Structure 1
Amino acid sequence: MPPVDLRYPFEGRWLTQHSPADRVPSHGTAEFATSYAIDFVPVGADGRSGAITLASLVRPEPAERFPGFARPILSPVAGVVVATHDAEPDHDAYRGVPSIGYALGQRRRASLGWLALAGNHVMIRAEGGIVVLCHLQRASVSVRIGQAVRPGEQVGRCGNSGNSTEPHVHLQVVDRLDVVHARAVPITFGGWLPRNGEVVDADQSVRSSRSRRPTTPPG
């Protein structure tokens, strides 16, 4: 299956996590068609999503304290909106010790189904598949089902809903609207993939020599 080439669904600097450039399935499971999914965490000029303090290591933090919370999320393709949901609350963020307890609840959240994992989301039917953007801020979705969208058009805001330890956007492409029974579709961004730990600057399209990647994921 050929990859769907996308633009970044944001502006500014974002940290890459769970990249299919490093492994497939990228999230350690093929469930819910996540084999080629990728996560982007909004960061500041220092490459961090938020200041690390003693307090942040020992107790949950309000998602609103993170500088990337509520950043605009943009459509990465031209297409038509086929599903939206933005009624889920934005829960606390978990780093340090609290993240251990949150990770132990992963199996329970997965048992509740895809919506419990995705949280607030937008799905866009485009050439090659359906693009899914997850973990959006509650009540931030700005498009409706049946609406045509252009690349770069705002569809919501970065949140911390669903299965999320801190504000970020999860992106995947699937071959059908029913994610539970869908197949994952490979993706690229301008013909390449950033690796785990790489900060991409969507405004400047900065690419270091070490970050130039093949157009197809491994596996």
Structure 2
Amino acid sequence: MVIYILLGLTLLLALGSMLLLWIAVTRPLQYSRSLVFLSCSLALFVYLYGTWIFLSAYTKYVFAAAFVLVLISAAQQPRKEPVRPYAAWRKWVNRALAWILWVFIILYFTGTTGRPRRVAIGLPFKHGKYFVLQGGKGLPTNLFHYSLRGAVYAMDIVKLDRYGRRANRVFSANLHDYVSFGDTIYAPCDGRVVRANNTNPDNTPPNMQRGPTNTNQVLLETGTCYVFMAHMRKGSVMVHENDWVKKGDPIGRIGNSGFSAEPHLHMQVHMKESNLPWYQCPPLYMELNGKSYLLNEIIDADEK
């Protein structure tokens, strides 16, 4: 399973960063500066990009605390002289690897699309904590959506339980094990419903059905943009084409229809332009209740 591979890789990199830190700090500083730089860079990289959500969204905070404890503990150990001199080429390799990681760290915040055009809309939820499973400002954080038509700023959002979990286990084929499944979706803005699909079945994880119309969806049109929301639960869509909705009106429930491996809400927004299909219009970066979110960030719907 891909989920277990990604989680295993996250944990392996996290443990590797702590091991490198221990080795570096317990050696004389003249031999270990580059290794300290590499270990801290790796730790920050895995903190930002790691798939901690498969355990809990809060697991990365445990990792951060453990990393600091390793640093404190290692600093209290007697420094050991290396058995043989530390080769200069190793220092250069350490620095090169660290700077490569820093490219990804910087791109996590900046993305690759320059300064995006933004749109202010509301949260599609009213209560609870949610998590950005996929999102960001283009590459590398939004790699999957970047490959899809016009979805460069799209977001996949899941709901969390009180322990920060998206489901009651790492993986489950039972839709009801996922916190998101059946959660109510609310209109994030006023608008007219220009598309509403409601009859597609929910996939059994991790199966997916690709296609433009095989996902239960709602497409809203405002005076300036289109708001697309997808993967809704079969039979849960509460609006019809040409209905007018107000911000905060319930419009459906989270499901697992279409090209979706587990229950979540997919959202993307496009600037409205005449004579173009909505998905070919320029994509917009979403500000939800006045705040923008990046990959692996937590959304608190109770914050006002």
**Cα shift at 1:21:** 4.5
Amino acid at match of 1:5: A
Contact 1:123 / 1:131 at 8 angstroms: preserved in 2? Answer: yes
Amino acid at match of 2:191: G
Higher helix share: 2
Q: What CA distance in whole angstroms lies between the structure 1 residues aligned with 2:265 and 2:248?
A: 15
State the match for 1:139 in structure 2.
235
State the match for 2:134 in structure 1.
18
Structure 1 gaps, min length 5: 95-101, 206-219
| Alignment of 1:47 onto 2:143 | no
**Cα shift at 1:153:** 0.8
| Alignment of 1:160 onto 2:256 | yes
Give the paired residue count: 184
Structure 2 gaps, min length 5: 1-115
**Bigger relative contact order, structure 1 or 2 (CA pairs below 8 A, ≥6 apart):** 1
State the match for 1:80 in structure 2.
192
Of 115, 140, 150, the match for 2:213? 115
Amino acid at match of 1:85: N
Higher strand share: 1
Deviations 1:157-208 (A, max 9, x none): 0101111121110000124573553432222123331222122111225xxx
Sequence identity (%): 26
Amino acid at match of 1:184: P
Amino acid at match of 2:185: I
| Alignment of 1:38 onto 2:148 | no
**Cα shift at 1:4:** 1.4
Instruction: Sort the Cα spacing of 1:200 and 1:30 in 2 relative to 1 into closer, same or farther, 3 A.
Output: same
| Alignment of 1:69 onto 2:181 | yes
Amino acid at match of 2:286: I
State the match for 1:4 in structure 2.
119
| Alignment of 1:195 onto 2:294 | yes
Amino acid at match of 2:121: L
State the match for 1:125 in structure 2.
221
**Cα shift at 1:148:** 1.3
The CA RMSD over aligned residues, in Å, is 2.4
Deviations 1:67-113 (A, max 9, x none): 3211100100111111100111001123xxxxxxx5xx7xx83xxx4
Question: Larger radius of gyration, structure 1 or 2?
Answer: 2
Amino acid at match of 2:183: R
Secondary structure class of the residue paired with 1:186 = strand
Deviations 1:11-54 (A, max 9, x none): 2211112222574783342532101111110110111111226x
Amino acid at match of 1:114: P
State the match for 2:20 in structure 1.
none
Of 161, 168, 185, the match for 2:284? 185
